[in-house]
Amino acid sequence: MNATEVDFANFQYGTVNGVVFNDVDGDGVMDASEEGVAGVAVTMGAASSETDADGAFTFDDLSFGDYTVSVALPSANHIATTETSFDISVTSGSSSSVEFGFYEDTYEFRTFNQTTDLAAKAGKLSSKKGVISGTANLATALQNVFVKVGKAGATFLGKAVTDATAAKTHGWVFFKSGADLGKFYGGAHGANYGPISYSKVVLDADGTINTTKSKKYGKAQKPSWNGTKGVENVAWAEGILFNLNMTASTKGVTPSGFGNLVVDIPVSFIGRDYEGSTLIEVGDDLDSVMTYWSEMGVDALDGDGEIEGLVTDLIQPVNEAFASDFAGSFAYDTAGITTGKNGYAITLSGAATAGASGLVRRDLSKMGQVYTVQGSGYLDMPVSFGLGQNYPNPFNPATTINIEVPEGLDGAVATLKVYNMLGQEVATLLNGAELSGGVNTVSFDATNLSSGIYFYRVSLNGGEFSAMKKMVLMK
């Protein structure tokens, strides 16, 4: 009699369920007081579903394998406080649960744009017995930016060059007052997108620049619109406004956080893709090119179309996206006028959300990046400081973080801290540590922390460089 051995296996289908919730406190965790959101589209592979009245969803009868479950945010004004997709492995009888959190972003930003109103005389205010008198205008807000910047003024386009020899052939735009900056907006700027290159151009017979007879811009420039020494240049005009808008936001004249907005459209410049980069990073690279155009191989007269592309695709649209009529969109800074004796102390109200622009978005992990008006150096000299994304991410319980320090700058002093969604410090990984040139790797063990979203922030050399990124602890 023959005996045959047979194996039988029983596979039980798996299930993935979860909830989409309105994360009111932005901590990435669904609290008892927070409600689910109905009607949100959730997909997993080829399958799709919508959340029910309680924000819940379920995918069942799942075969063995790896799946990705994703949620679509309801609108561009919604900000995710958790990941928007999770990778799930389904095994026999497994049941996995995920939470998607977001909240509607109603925070509005404000910008200055090209308008002759900037060239007007700034209205000055005064206070007597608590009553404010005088007529404010857009130029009043502009001058308030300069009051807050200080009497020394600031660079508003390009990079201030500190080396005396290099400064003779490298230019940047510098203003000490709102009146000086406003003079550059006395009229429309022609279709010129060149860098801060030549103040006088002499062409040879073949159409090339005669570098001997032509004169380069050198040192700080204070351009005005048209006139004998006037400049008509769209790249200059929009680049100056771009830096003005970041400065105004930093100084509290307009809503804070403008420079930390993240580019949300495909746009490239000098071979770099800026989707996902902050406006601070975009502006820094534009400033570098405007001053160091020669070293970076950019055409002196038209910027090889690179500058025009960045300005028309991103810089100018962003400057316009949050602009508004002055009437009824400002507020007196009463304390600044009365106590501070600042006759220009007004603030401009927000005009539009980041999501409504269709150009940029708010990203909580980028809000710690610091914008500084003044600076020197250019993209290729040297390799910049950098903060890498932790790996792995999500992680449990350990992960690593890379900090990049330019070669030759050994001894950079670093602070690296970890924060929760409430901004509370939960760990200090580096505190005054000296880093070497190259990639420095720091380990982080989150055994004692609960699952959720955390932010890690590095500061180098007392704030010369700072950056923040998000990481997800998933236990």
- One domain for residues 169 and 303: yes
Confidence tier at 9 by pLDDT (50, 70, 90): low
Last residue of a domain, one of 79, 104, 129: 104
Looking at the 3D structure of the chain, how many domains does it have? 3
| Residue 73, φ and ψ in degrees, nearest 5 | -65, 140
Percentage of the chain beyond pLDDT 90 is 49
pLDDT at 282 over 90: yes
In a domain, 174, yes or no: yes
- What is the per-residue pLDDT for 190? 79
pLDDT at 339 over 60: yes
- One domain for residues 65 and 120: no
Burial class (CB in 10 A: 0-12, 13-18, 19+), 232: middle
In a domain, 371, yes or no: no
C-alpha 205/C-alpha 192 separation (Å) is 22
The 8 Å CB, 24+ separation contacts for 246-251 are 246/279, 246/280, 246/283, 246/371, 246/373, 247/145, 247/149, 247/154, 247/156, 247/371, 247/373, 248/112, 248/141, 248/145, 248/348, 249/109, 249/371, 250/371, 250/373, 251/145, 251/148, 251/149
- One domain for residues 215 and 280: yes
Q: Which tokens is 8 given?
A: 């039988």
Q: Which tokens is 457 given?
A: 């922030």
Q: Which tokens is 246 given?
A: 């970041």
Q: Which tokens is 299 given?
A: 């055409």
- One domain for residues 96 and 37: yes
Kindly give, in sequence order, each residue whose CB lies less than 8 Å from that of residue 334, ignoring residues fewer than 6 positions away.
Answer: 127, 132
**Residue 74, domain extent:** 14-104
- What is the per-residue pLDDT for 202? 75
Last residue of a domain, one of 104, 128, 162: 104
In a domain, 7, yes or no: no
Average pLDDT, the chain: 87
- What is the per-residue pLDDT for 383? 42
The mean pLDDT of 139-159, rounded to a whole number, is 93
Check residues 404 and 109 and name the one with the higher pLDDT. Answer: 109
pLDDT at 168 over 60: yes
Confidence tier at 389 by pLDDT (50, 70, 90): confident
